[in-house]
Amino acid sequence: MKPARLILSTFLVSFFFSSCSHQGDQLSEAEQQALDSLSKIDQKRKGDSMKKKNPLLILPPDSSYTGSYVDKYTTGITKFVGFYRQGKRHGQWMSFFPTGIAWSEMHYDKGLRQGPNMVYYESGKLRYSGFYKNDQQDSVWTYYDSLGKANKKVIFKKDRVIKEIELKK
């Protein structure tokens, strides 16, 4: 099946370039649909390949998608929930453990991490919290032990550690 796909891809690409070489010629609607379809197949193949490398990777249905996104475990429990705007994460995104307990809460602005970030232990207790500014760690991040007690604070500025403070136990 792969050789057939390669032949079809080669034919469509060569057809596209030969069509484009004539000034004033426009692609017919059928030709444009074939190219769009080929592009979507290629985009899905790349996305599937990336997801094999990282099963937690979240990709929009297409590069200009705007709308809600929900991914579920095979058990039906929600894995991720969020919103896309023009193919980029936007607003609050939540991820969940297979048990349904919140794993993390992240905020985005046009694809960049922006605002508060909280990550939890599977027990539901806070693991760490901090703030992103323009997709970089910024301000004070607090880290907790599995019992929920703060044990370290780290001050970040533009993704760089400024100071680490170990808290008394």
Q: What is the pLDDT of residue 63?
A: 76
Q: What is the pLDDT of residue 22?
A: 46
Q: Taking Cα atoms as reference points, which of 144, 83, 72, 141 lies closest to residue 108?
A: 83
Q: What is the pLDDT of residue 32?
A: 67
Q: What is the pLDDT of residue 98?
A: 94
Q: What is the pLDDT of residue 26?
A: 66
Q: What is the pLDDT of residue 64?
A: 83
**Residue 142 one-letter amino acid:** T
Domain ranges of the chain: 2-53, 67-166
Q: What is the pLDDT of residue 68?
A: 92
pTM of the model: 0.66
Q: How far apart are CA 155 and CA 169, in angstroms?
A: 19
pLDDT beneath 70: ranges in the chain: 1-27, 31-58, 169
Q: What is the pLDDT of residue 137?
A: 95
Right CATH for 67-166 from 2.60.40.2310, 2.20.110.10, 1.10.150.20, 3.40.630.40 = 2.20.110.10
